[in-house]
Structure formats: structure tokens, C-alpha cells
């Protein structure tokens, strides 16, 4: 998309939450959040040109050909960045939810024909245009809620043709949708049931990993290391092959369902951007993540929906690790699309301060994708990716999470007015004579 030629001035904001000191090692206090009271933001040529108190706004900006928005009583914050999603798929997994509430476990449901393999079959049966339509609908919802960048994994194809197809569909939607889409190759999501285990591992190594890079579909890769998925040895082998073929971003599903020992087995942290889930992580590994600069991406929805242990959050924060928060949207454990629910769940479920979660879903998430030099904060020179919410204080992001009136979303300096309203309208339909 072309760079916007219009300059926008967002004036008289009750608060601007800049996250200007991020990414943050460890705890995020109110003092570190970078809140500007009664602030203004200048958006020029798609980027933040100035941010500060409204009283300090230069008259030079006001004399130019600008569009001025009076946002009294509103706050502005960086656009949400979701660093971990499985948004491209067909079908649903309603039965998984019904069975879990009857006492079945994730692994029991998978063994009975549900789980990832159910979605693989549904996705393979879904034509390209329908896959893209479903993805666009999901992205539309995320964007209206204030998500401006989202990582999307493949992983519901589990064959050479199907994984390539998913990444191509992602690439096509990425080119047209306003939200920033960052595709990740997750061919190592699970072993397909229609192929021998050794044969599929060989397919990943000999065909899929090289082909994804050759076709320019993604330079980001993920591996699901856990019971019922890929072993520690297989995961380390795949990482070696991925590096050899030019993957520059590595993400890992680690210690979600069981304590795998993966983190302890890694001796080369090169290109590993994040380790995700971590419900069974040994708290002693927190120091290693802090020292290597690898982000911990925590996923509250999966934790609570599957009743998994709480990750060692306090150990991570105490060690000075970068802690990001994602949604883990997927059809099996979190089909929802409201990031404010994720926000609320992280705060209330894990007893985390609003500031910690706000940073975790913006600048910390940007860091986990290594785009923190481009977005995730409201600071001069960065992309103008921000959200305007009709509340007077950022505490309301938690307090009224289910009724939040998002009014504007700016992406790359382009303003999108969100016309949804929290008002409930109803009409009495009388059929009386």
C-alpha cells in the first residue's frame, strides 16, 4: 500500500500510552509505561512524527495542511500485536469442547479422531477461496478490536501440497488486508495419520523446509515439541535443517502439555525468537531466556481452557525475561477473536498488573517477532500503528473489557473508523391485534 499523504493530528487525548521504554526486561510498572497525560500525536507519512503533551504541540504542525481529530476523553495505545495464532483453517472443533466438558482430555480427544487431525481433514477439504474468505473474516474481527499485526501459522495441511497451499493463501490475503500478517511455517505441528512418521520427517527435511524458502513463502518456522507431537531430538534436528536453508526466525511450542526438557537440551539459541506456552517449564530456565534474549510468549486462553498449570511467570519476570502475551487462536482450544478477553484473562487469571499485560500484548509481542524497531510503541519514527479507545484511563481496558468502544484504528498511518457501538438496541415486535 502507498504511504498516506495526509498528516493527522490526534489532539487532547486523555492519555497516550507510549510503551516508550520497551521492550521491557522483567516487570513493567506504571512509571515505565510511558503515559502522556492530555497528549497529542502527529502522524505524518505513515509514521509517528511527534508525541507529547497537547500544550507542547508546535504551531508549525497546525499551520500545515492537516486533518485534526479532537479526541477528548479518549486514550491512544499501540496497536495490539498477536504473536501466536493458528488463524487459517477450515471447519470447527465444537465436539472437542463438548467432550472436554464431559471430562475427556486433549490427548484422549485426539486419539478418538478429534484434535489437530480433525482440523487437517476439514482444511484439506476447504477450497482456496473459502479458506481466504474465512481468514479475512477473522482478520476483520481482530482489526476492529485493535489488532494491527498478527502472526499466523500454517500447520493444518501436513502434506507438501497442503502446507504450501496454506502459505500461498496467507500470502495472498497478506497483500490485500490492512492488518499486518506475518506467516510462520508450522509443518511440524503434528504427524499426519496418512503417512509414516519417518516418511513425514524426511518430507519436512528434504522437501518442505527447502521449498518454503525457495518459493519465498516464509522465513519463520515453528515446531511443536511435546508428547504426541515432535520429540526433543526431532525438534533439534529440524532447527538445524531450518537454519541451513535460511530460516531467520524460529519459534517453538515448548513444555505445553508436559515437561519435555527441550529448553534444557538447546545449546544453540541462534535465531530462536521465542518459546511459547511454557506451562510445564522448569522455572530455572527463566534465567537462560533472560540471558539469551529469547522472548517467552505466554498464552492464557490455552492455559485456562485446557486447565494447564500456570507458566512460571514470576520467575520469568524476576529473571528479567521479555514476557509477551498471545491469543493462540485455533479451532480446538481458543476459537475466540476478542483480544480484550485475552487481556482480561491474563490480568485476572494470572493476577498480572494491567501495565504488564498491556506491554505484553504490544511492545513485548513486537519483540517476540523482532519488529519492535518498527511497531509496538508510540514513538517518533515508528509506524503509526495505534488504537483509540473511548475511555478516559487505561485501567478501563480491564475494568470494561467486554464493552470497550474502539473508535479508531491506525495502521501504517491510515485511519480506520470503527463504527461498532457498545449500545444495545432492541425493538418490540408486536403481533397483538
Q: What is the pLDDT of residues 37-76, one digit of tens each?
A: 999 999 999 999 999 999 999 998 887 789 999 999 999 9
Longest CA–CA separation in the chain, Å: 80
In a domain, 276, yes or no: yes
User: Is 151 in contact with 83 (CB distance < 8 Å)?
Assistant: yes
* Residues 94 and 22 both lie in one domain: no
Give the cell for residue 355: 501495565
Q: Give me the number of domains the chain comprises.
A: 2
User: Is 86 in contact with 328 (CB distance < 8 Å)?
Assistant: yes
* Residues 296 and 387 both lie in one domain: no
Taking the model in full, what pTM does it have? Answer: 0.95
* Residues 268 and 381 both lie in one domain: no
In a domain, 359, yes or no: no
In a domain, 347, yes or no: no
Last residue of a domain, which of 337, 366, 392?
A: 337
In a domain, 369, yes or no: no
In a domain, 363, yes or no: no
CATH number at residue 206: 3.20.20.140
* Residues 39 and 174 both lie in one domain: no
CATH number at residue 400: 2.30.40.10
Residue span of the structural domain in which 22 resides: 7-79+375-417
* Residues 315 and 413 both lie in one domain: no
* Residues 20 and 99 both lie in one domain: no
* Residues 23 and 137 both lie in one domain: no
* Residues 304 and 410 both lie in one domain: no
In a domain, 362, yes or no: no
Give the cell for residue 259: 515437561
In a domain, 283, yes or no: yes
In a domain, 26, yes or no: yes
* Residues 197 and 223 both lie in one domain: yes
* Residues 66 and 137 both lie in one domain: no
User: Is 164 in contact with 211 (CB distance < 8 Å)?
Assistant: yes
Neighbour count for residue 413 (Cβ, 10 Å): 23
Give the cell for residue 262: 527441550
* Residues 314 and 401 both lie in one domain: no
User: Is 407 in contact with 418 (CB distance < 8 Å)?
Assistant: yes
Pairing assessment for the beta strands 272-277 and 249-254 based on DSSP bridges: parallel
Per-residue pLDDT of the chain (433 residues; tens, 9 = 90+): 678 889 999 999 999 999 999 999 999 999 999 999 999 999 999 999 999 999 999 998 887 789 999 999 999 999 999 999 999 999 999 999 999 999 998 889 988 889 999 999 999 999 999 999 999 999 999 999 999 999 999 999 999 999 999 999 999 999 999 999 999 999 999 999 999 999 999 999 999 999 999 999 999 999 999 999 999 999 999 999 999 999 999 999 999 999 999 999 999 999 999 999 999 999 999 999 999 999 999 999 999 999 999 999 999 999 999 999 999 999 999 999 999 999 999 999 999 999 999 999 999 999 999 999 999 999 999 999 999 999 999 999 999 888 879 999 999 999 999 986 555 566 666 566 5
Q: Is 178 exposed, middle or buried (0-12, 13-18, 19+ CB in 10 A)?
A: middle
Phi, psi of 83 (to 5 degrees): -90, 5
pLDDT of residue 403: 81
* Backbone dihedral region for residue 158 (phi beyond 0: left; psi -120 to 50: alpha; all else: beta): left
pLDDT of residue 432: 60
* Residues 92 and 67 both lie in one domain: no
Amino acid at each position: 500500500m502507498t504511504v498516506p499523504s495526509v498528516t493527522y493530528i490526534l489532539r487532547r487525548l486523555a492519555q497516550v500510552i507510549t510503551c516508550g521504554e520497551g521492550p521491557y526486561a522483567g516487570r513493567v510498572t506504571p512509571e515505565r509505561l510511558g503515559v502522556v497525560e492530555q497528549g497529542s500525536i502527529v502522524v505524518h507519512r505513515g509514521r509517528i512524527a511527534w508525541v507529547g503533551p497537547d500544550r507542547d504541540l508546535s504551531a508549525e504542525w497546525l499551520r500545515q495542511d492537516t486533518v485534526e481529530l479532537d479526541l477528548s476523553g479518549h486514550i491512544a495505545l499501540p496497536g495490539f500485536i498477536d504473536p501466536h495464532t493458528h488463524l487459517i483453517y477450515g471447519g470447527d472443533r465444537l465436539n472437542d469442547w463438548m467432550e472436554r466438558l464431559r471430562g475427556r482430555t486433549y490427548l484422549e480427544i485426539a486419539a478418538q479422531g478429534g484434535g489437530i487431525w480433525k482440523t487437517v481433514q476439514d482444511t484439506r477439504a476447504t477450497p482456496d477461496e473459502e479458506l481466504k474468505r474465512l481468514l479475512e473474516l477473522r482478520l476483520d474481527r481482530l482489526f476492529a478490536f485493535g489488532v494491527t499485526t498478527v502472526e499466523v501459522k500454517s500447520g493444518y495441511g501436513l502434506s507438501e501440497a497442503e502446507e504450501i497451499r496454506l502459505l500461498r493463501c496467507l500470502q495472498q490475503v497478506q497483500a490485500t488486508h490492512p492488518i499486518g500478517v506475518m506467516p510462520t511455517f508450522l509443518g511440524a505441528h503434528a504427524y499426519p495419520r496418512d503417512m509414516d512418521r519417518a516418511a513425514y520427517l524426511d518430507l519436512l527435511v528434504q522437501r518442505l523446509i527447502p521449498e518454503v524458502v525457495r518459493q519465498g513463502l516464509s522465513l519463520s518456522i515453528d515446531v511443536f515439541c511435546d508428547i504426541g507431537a515432535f520429540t526433543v531430538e526431532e525438534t533439534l534436528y529440524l532447527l538445524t535443517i531450518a537454519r541451513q536453508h535460511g530460516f531467520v526466525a524460529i519459534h517453538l511450542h515448548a513444555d505445553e502439555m508436559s515437561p519435555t526438557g527441550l529448553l534444557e537440551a538447546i545449546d544453540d539459541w541462534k535465531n530462536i525468537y521465542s518459546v511459547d506456552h511454557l506451562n510445564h517449564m522448569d522455572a530455572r530456565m527463566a534465567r537462560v531466556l533472560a540471558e539469551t534474549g529469547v522472548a517467552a510468549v505466554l498464552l492464557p486462553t490455552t492455559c485456562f481452557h485446557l486447565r494447564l498449570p500456570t507458566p512460571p511467570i514470576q520467575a520469568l519476570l524476576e529473571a528479567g525475561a521479555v514476557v509477551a502475551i498471545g491469543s493462540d487462536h485455533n479451532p480446538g482450544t481458543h476459537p475466540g477473536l476478542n483480544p480484550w478477553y485475552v487481556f482480561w484473562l491474563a490480568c485476572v487469571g494470572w493476577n498480572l498488573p494491567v501495565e504488564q499485560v498491556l506491554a505484553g500484548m504490544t511492545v513485548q509481542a513486537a519483540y517476540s517477532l523482532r519488529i519492535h524497531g518498527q511497531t509496538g510503541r508510540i514513538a517518533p519514527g515508528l509506524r503509526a500503528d495505534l488504537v483509540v479507545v473511548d475511555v478516559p484511563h487505561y485501567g478501563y481496558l480491564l475494568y470494561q473489557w467486554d464493552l470497550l468502544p474502539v473508535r479508531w484504528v491506525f495502521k501504517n498511518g491510515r485511519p480506520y473508523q470503527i463504527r461498532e457501538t457498545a449500545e444495545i438496541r432492541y425493538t418490540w415486535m408486536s403481533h397483538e391485534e
